[in-house]
Chains A and B, each alone.
Chain A
Amino acid sequence: METPLGHKHPLSQVIAEINSIFAEIGFTFAEGPERELVAFNFDALNVPKDHPSRDMQDTFYLADKPDVVMRTHTSPVQVRHMKSHTPPIKMICPGKVFRNEATDATHEAQFFQIEGLMIDTDVSLGHMKGVLEYFFSRFFGGEVQVRFRPSFFPFVEPGVEVDMMIAHSPDNKLSGRWIEIMGAGMVHPNVLEASGIDSTKYQGFAFGMGMDRLAVLKYGIDDIRLMYNGDLRFTNQF
């Protein structure tokens, strides 16, 4: 038997595509630790001290280290990036995150997220709409429209829910309908200040979504747990 070519994991493929699309518009790829300080994972992100997401039933804490968690989102990477860079800032941060929740076909205790951040003196929700439409159009192929609905996340104000619609195409099952895809908003001034950015001078948007969901939508994967169990019957289809 000849040696067949190996296969790239779909999440690696998604990360590579995301990076290459965002790199075209000047967004850098930032990273940070998966084991994170509460100060970066919650405090700097304006998450109230009593917020339910801090509970042990949602967040993994490390034994004997009440100030350290497995990051619950990649947002602390945004904080770290703002602390070490000055605006204008354009970055994305794909990475693994952890939630203490029961697993099923659409939930995993560890999964991948992609977040993005753009900060300058005049960045608005209009810029965010443009960036997201550009990204989704490139990622899914075809023209993608984006719309916002009011939402709430402690780290943004205003906060929005983002839906996307791929222009109708007969061979694309995802096309022609609105799909709820991510949470986003204008970075809360408390977050900017906690990250060392002057909120009276700078403003910007942040967004975040499950990378697993992008892979699920793009490839029609029916169970996200398949992405994390090392089964080549899954990986070798990609």
Chain B
Amino acid sequence: MKFSYNWLQSLLEKPLPPAVELGDLITFHSAEIEELIDVAGDTVLDVKVLPDKSAWLMSHRGLAKEIAVITKNTLKADPFLNPVSLNSDERIKVELKTPACDFYSAALITGVKVGPSPDWLKERLVALGQRSINNIVDATNYVMFEIGQPLHAFDADKLSHEGGHHIVVRQASEGEKITTLTGEEYELSVSDALIVDGGNNVPVGIAGVKGGAVAAVDAGTTNILLESAHFDRFAVRKTAKTLKLQTDASKRYENGICRAIAPIALTRVIELILEVAGGTTEVVTAVGDVSVERQPVTVTLSEINSLLGVNLTMRDVEDILNRFAYTYTTDGDTITVTPPFERDDLVIAEDVVEEIGRIYGLGHIVSIPPMVGAVAEVNVRHYYSEKIREALMALGFSEVYTSSFRNKDVVKLENALATDKGYLRSSLVENLREARTSNVPHRDLLGLNAVKIFEIGTVFGAESEEFRVGLAVQTGTSYKAKVDDTLLEEALAALATTLGVTLTFISKEEGIVEFSLDTLLPQLPVVTAYEPAAELPKITYRPFSLYPAVSRDIAMWVPEAVMAGAVEEILAANAGPLCVRLTHVDTFSKDGKTSLAFRLVFQSNEKTLTDEEVQGYMDTLYKTVADQGWEAR
């Protein structure tokens, strides 16, 4: 939520610290500041209000109170210190016909003069990114941003009022429609609650979400009916979500704003409207209960110190409680706090510990270094997974992690992200096949003569899940049993040796094999300690080109005395900037000459290379070879 620095200052006795410093204090004692935004003559603090504090911190009063506690400042006037009690007045009839509303207060003000808001009011709202509409609407928004309570103003003359106004809060009927203030039409269902004009049963607002167009305040409005009500957080959340209509009002109800704030806000908005738009308060009424009883929370000093890892005294704790102005009693080292009505987040001892900790400062927590000691149990699956990885890597296999989702398999997801990800994989085989295929074109680029990959991962049966190991091999552009199976058998033999068991395969075809790791583990020797981790070189990932790589071979006769390494160096120096790999692939000697063959891979980070471009680089190399007196073949 956005907060105005100037507004916060106006609520506090003493000067605030500069905005950046204030932002840090809020971040380390209350809630994270996402951004400080400079606006004309003000600074806006964008605060990521935490979910447990959203019922009371989504208002300038809420944050000003936090700042007062954190910086030992004082609120000039805390509206919450004077609970308001309103009585029912039959001149406005209010009927609550749904559990979605437990309190509804209203006021009729006549003779208002609708017009632009005074500059100070406009500035406050504009700083928060709000549009100034007129003095009436602005006043309701202002009070919401000030103390957190959503409010609404109806044009009282657009509501039926013969024999007095009549407001009904009820559930919508299926398919009932309403056009909101901003002109959009919504179709409602029986789970949505409505504010209805009791005189004609016409919906005039979506309860807790948005007002209707039918009774909107406009330039010609002279009499207004104000609403300050409390709606059920879950009901509002459901409606706002279904209608995809999240508003400043719905957010506050969803977060469980305390109902005792509603009558305070009505009193406050009446006062403000009389100030900025004139008029006379004719009727104020309220229906429902706003009483809130907070249960006392007991915590001991030793619990506070033991959970936080600090050494506070009773005096330190009491100092913080006094800064909050909490009602509390002490008995020895036991403290009993009765939370103020707006605080629904102080329920258990740990909640109070958090209050103390964050105000004292989590920065005071001192590290307690851990004790070195052996583990109680070794994770056998991890231990042997590492063994399998090492054995396979030694034979040139690289590890892949693939998706747990498939387009069609045994176990179906209720809510898939995409149609091709609707099921859980029951095997690693298909994923490995796809990964193998997609890597085949990169063999030259990677300097590989074969794609050899493996995965260790979870697969899902109808009821069970297990860890499996899968291997896939492919040398050419398609699977060739003779070559590929030889490489695969070599790997399987190495695994059998490493693990000291005979492997049983779930499947083994076309160069892809899969076996269950979980079935294998009980057959393996018991492990009592991990092996020390190897020291590894520091690796920094480099983004790779997404454009295709192009391979070219060059072969030549050189005198027997010329070493392949020397030739490679000369080729590398002349291959141009787009040669990303140069591999010596073949050597043989005949008649006192040596034939050397090299494979070059060209790739650009900016485009797909054409044959002509690559040929240009190759021509340079052929010239280099000729200049050396070697004979290209």
Contact = CB atoms under 8 A, between A and B. Distances in A.
B95 interface: no
A175 interface: no
Interface in A12-58: 12-13, 15-17, 19-20, 23-31, 33-35, 50, 56-57
B350 A188 contact: yes
Contacts of B58: none
Contacts of A194: none
Contact of B394 (A6, A98, A127, A160): A6
B536 A29 contact: no
A130 B542 contact: no
B348 A7 contact: no
B50 A152 contact: yes
Given A19-B530, A62-B411, A122-B306, A7 B362 contact: no
Contacts of B377: 28
Interface string B404-419: 1100000111111100
B522 interface: no
A130 B369 contact: yes
B367 A61 contact: no
A4 B541 CA distance: 19
Given A9-B400, A28-B375, A232 B451 contact: yes
Contacts of B457: 96
Contacts of B386: 16
A233 B442 contact: yes
Contacts of B424: 35, 70
A176 interface: no
A213 interface: no
Contact of B366 (A65, A110, A129, A188): A129
B370 A19 contact: no
Contacts of B544: 233-234, 237
A134 B369 contact: yes
Would you call the interface of chain B mostly helix, strand, loop, or mixed?
mixed
B442 A158 contact: no
A158 B396 contact: no
Interface string A130-150: 110110000000000011111
A25 B32 contact: no
Contacts of A82: none
Interface in B339-391: 348, 350-351, 353-354, 357-358, 362-363, 365-379, 381-382, 385-386, 389
A147 B366 CA distance: 10
Contacts, number: 267
Interface string A225-238: 00111111111111
A124 B304 CA distance: 10
B365 A222 contact: no
B52 interface: yes
Contacts of A230: 400-402, 431-432, 434-435, 438-439, 453, 455
Chain B: number of interface residues, binned into ranges: 35 or more
Given A219-B539, A230-B434, A237-B542, A186 B414 contact: no
B155 to A, nearest CB: 35
Given A28-B377, A35-B460, A124 B368 contact: yes
Nearest to A158: B354
B367 A133 contact: yes
A106 interface: no
B453 A232 contact: yes
Nearest to B397: A6
Contacts of A110: 403-405
Contacts of B279: none
Residue among A100, A126, A234, A235 with max Cβ neighbours from chain B (10 Å): A126
A159 B357 CA distance: 11
B27 A149 contact: yes
A50 B233 CA distance: 10
A50 to B, nearest CB: 5
Nearest to B393: A6
B404 A98 contact: yes
Contacts of A221: 541
Contact of B51 (A11, A33, A152): A152
Contact of A150 (B31, B371, B402): B31
Contacts of A17: 533
B307 A60 contact: no
Nearest to B359: A150
Given A26-B374, A125-B309, A228-B402, A62 B412 contact: yes
Contacts of B610: none
Interface in A146-178: 146-152, 157-161
A15 B386 CA distance: 10
Nearest to A133: B367
Contacts of A122: 306
A28 B376 contact: yes
A8 interface: yes
Interface in A188-238: 188-189, 203, 219-222, 227-238
A169 to B, nearest CB: 12
Please provide the 4 A-B residue pairs with the shortest distance between their CB atoms, ordered closest to farther: A126-B309, A230-B435, A124-B309, A158-B354
15 contacts: A5-B396, A9-B399, A23-B375, A25-B373, A26-B375, A62-B413, A109-B405, A124-B368, A126-B310, A127-B368, A150-B50, A157-B350, A157-B354, A230-B455, A235-B399
Interface of A: 1, 3-13, 15-17, 19-20, 23-31, 33-35, 50, 56-57, 60-66, 70, 96, 98, 100-102, 109-110, 122, 124-127, 129-131, 133-134, 146-152, 157-161, 186, 188-189, 203, 219-222, 227-238
Given A5-B393, A62-B414, A236-B446, 19 more contacts: A1-B585, A6-B397, A6-B398, A12-B456, A16-B533, A19-B530, A27-B375, A35-B411, A62-B412, A64-B412, A124-B307, A125-B362, A126-B365, A146-B367, A219-B540, A228-B402, A230-B453, A234-B541, A237-B542
